[in-house]
């Protein structure tokens, strides 16, 4: 994507002017998402103002935003209202060092016609890699095999009594062809004899051709796939997308993997299907998060539950900060942005109104 034409006073066209960057990320998040050398790279080119309070304090925010050219947000940043943005009449770029920008984007953002960029692709890569890994682990029944051995069952008995499967010669369905879905399709493409099908009413045909996958409506995808990946964001229009009927239609021994959002699934219906023992589920996200105490998700033997760890955990969080600083420097150097997103894309992210 190319940048709009520079105007006089724009930091890209005026190398003598040090751009002001307002960092609206709380200290606790900055400490785990940014390395000191990345701040040093940014400070070498810009005047950087840092948020000091953990809680969102509008008085502090408006002070940080005075004459800012660039806004750097992340986890812990709240709605960017007119009051928050008004001290920065020359604001040109909003860089988000995380994924979805939808909950922060107000009408005040759209009125300014800002360039928007997000580190969503960094998160998406990690989520897709996790989704692939958990697919293999679940098909091999690694967790139940390990549990049986820990309970004292004989090695050969455990091996011979479990129906482990390979990731080959089966249909894998991906619901949602955003960044996660696309990275997942690319990773799955190296496996043998997989029929990869994708449901996404908004993705253009050219994207399906580029990734070598087939378009399929969600009803058929759920009814015919051995593995179903939910990569759908939670918007006002996707709540309960995986309905009781869709879950009931899944094949016996189907594996349902949710790395999208819990709100997109009728979880009561999912629990009902899991209790029959007919299907398997791997859930990295639920609604609510965490599940309520006593939820069957904690104890069902055919449900593998993980605490929202698919993307950007531990040392992986530093990739978010590195990307954000790289992207700001690309902007200052007049280079194309790698994470640039449109209003339509933001409204289709988790927390948005949907499309």
pLDDT value for 108: 96
pLDDT value for 159: 84
> What CATH class has 123-305?
alpha beta
Question: Phi and psi for 205 in degrees, rounded to 5?
Answer: -60, -35
- How many angstroms separate the CA atoms of 119 and 327, rounded? 9
- How many angstroms separate the CA atoms of 119 and 35, rounded? 16
Q: Give the mean model confidence (pLDDT) for residues 206-216.
A: 97
Beta carbons within 10 angstroms of residue 276's beta carbon:
10
The answer on pLDDT for 2 being more than 80 is: no
Cis peptide leading into residue 288 (ω within 30°) = yes
Rg (CA), the chain: 23
CA 160 to chain centre: 38
**What number of helices (H) and strands (E) belong to the chain?**
15, 12
Task: Give the pLDDT band (50/70/90) at residue 313.
Answer: very high
- Alpha-helical (H) ranges within the chain are 27-33, 36-43, 58-64, 82-85, 107-112, 120-139, 142-150, 155-161, 179-188, 205-211, 218-224, 244-249, 267-275, 318-332, 343-347
pLDDT value for 328: 98
The answer on pLDDT for 5 being more than 90 is: no
pLDDT value for 14: 56
pLDDT tens track for 125-165: 999 999 999 999 999 999 999 988 999 988 888 888 778 99
Beta carbons within 10 angstroms of residue 174's beta carbon:
30
Task: Give the pLDDT band (50/70/90) at residue 25.
Answer: very high
Give the helix/strand (H/E) hosting 20. Answer: strand 19-23
| Residue keyed to tokens 């969503």 | 120
Q: Give the mean model confidence (pLDDT) for residues 53-59.
A: 97
pLDDT tens track for 250-296: 999 999 999 999 999 999 999 999 999 999 999 999 999 999 999 99
Residue 140, CA distances (Å) to 162, 168, 228 in order = 9, 12, 16
Give the helix/strand (H/E) hosting 49. Answer: strand 46-50
Q: How many CA atoms lie within 13 A of 234 on its CB side?
A: 17
Please, what sign has the CA dihedral across residues 120, 125, 130, 132? positive
Coil, strand, or helix at residue 130? helix
Domain boundaries, the chain: 19-119+315-347, 123-305
Asked if 25 contacts 54 with a C-beta cutoff of 8 angstroms, the reply is: no
In CATH, which superfamily holds the domain spanning 19-119+315-347? NAD(P)-binding Rossmann-like Domain (3.40.50.720)
pLDDT value for 9: 36
What are the structure tokens assigned to 219, written together?
């009803």
Within this chain, domains 19-119+315-347 and 123-305 share the same CATH topology: yes
The answer on pLDDT for 214 being more than 70 is: yes
- The 10 Å CB-count burial string (b at 16+, else e) for 308-335 is eebbbeeebbbbbbbbbbbbbebbbeee
Question: Phi and psi for 107 in degrees, rounded to 5?
Answer: -60, -30
Proportion of the chain above pLDDT 70, given as a percent: 95
| Residue keyed to tokens 């927390």 | 351
If you ran DSSP here, which 8-state letter would residue 250 be given?
S
User: Please, what is the Cα angle at 95 between 91 and 98, to 5 degrees?
Assistant: 150
- Per the prediction, the chain carries an average pLDDT of 93
Q: Give the mean model confidence (pLDDT) for residues 338-350.
A: 95
Question: Phi and psi for 257 in degrees, rounded to 5?
Answer: -120, 125
Torsion of CA 226, 286, 177, 113, to 10 degrees: 180
Give the helix/strand (H/E) hosting 289. Answer: none
């Amino acid at each position: 994507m190319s940048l709009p034409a520079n105007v006089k006073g724009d930091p890209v066209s005026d190398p003598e002017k040090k751009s002001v960057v307002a960092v609206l990320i709380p200290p606790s998040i900055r400490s785990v998402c940014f390395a000191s050398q990345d701040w040093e790279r940014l400070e070498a080119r810009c005047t950087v103002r840092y948020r000091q309070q953990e809680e969102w304090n509008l008085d502090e925010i408006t002070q940080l935003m005075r004459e800012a050219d660039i806004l750097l947000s992340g986890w812990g940043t709240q709605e960017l209202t007119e009051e928050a943005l008004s001290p920065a009449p020359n604001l040109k770029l909003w860089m988000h060092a995380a994924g979805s920008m939808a909950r922060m984007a107000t009408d005040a953002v759209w009125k300014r016609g800002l360039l928007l960029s997000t580190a969503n692709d960094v998160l998406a890569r990690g989520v897709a890699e996790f989704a692939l890994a958990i697919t293999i682990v679940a098909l091999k029944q690694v967790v139940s095999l390990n549990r049986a051995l820990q309970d004292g069952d004989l090695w050969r008995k455990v091996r011979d009594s479990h129906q482990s499967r390979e990731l080959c010669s089966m249909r894998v369905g991906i619901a949602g062809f955003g960044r996660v879905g696309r990275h997942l399709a690319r990773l799955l493409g190296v496996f043998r004899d997989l029929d990869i099908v994708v449901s996404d009413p908004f993705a253009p045909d050219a994207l399906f051709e580029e990734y070598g996958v087939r378009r399929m409506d969600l009803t058929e995808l759920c009814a015919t796939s051995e593995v179903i990946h939910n990569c759908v964001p939670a918007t006002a229009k996707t709540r309960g997308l995986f309905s009781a009927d869709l879950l009931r239609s899944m094949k016996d021994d189907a594996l349902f993997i949710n790395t999208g959002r819990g709100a997109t699934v009728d979880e009561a219906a999912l629990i009902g299907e899991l209790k029959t023992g007919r299907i398997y589920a791997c859930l990295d996200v639920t609604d609510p998060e965490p599940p309520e105490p006593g939820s069957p998700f904690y104890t069902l033997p055919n449900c593998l539950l993980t605490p929202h760890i698919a993307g950007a955990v531990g040392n992986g969080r530093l990739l978010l900060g590195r990307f954000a600083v790289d992207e700001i420097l690309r902007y200052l150097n007049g280079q194309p942005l790698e994470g640039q997103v449109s209003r339509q894309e933001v409204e289709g992210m988790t927390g948005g109104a949907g499309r």
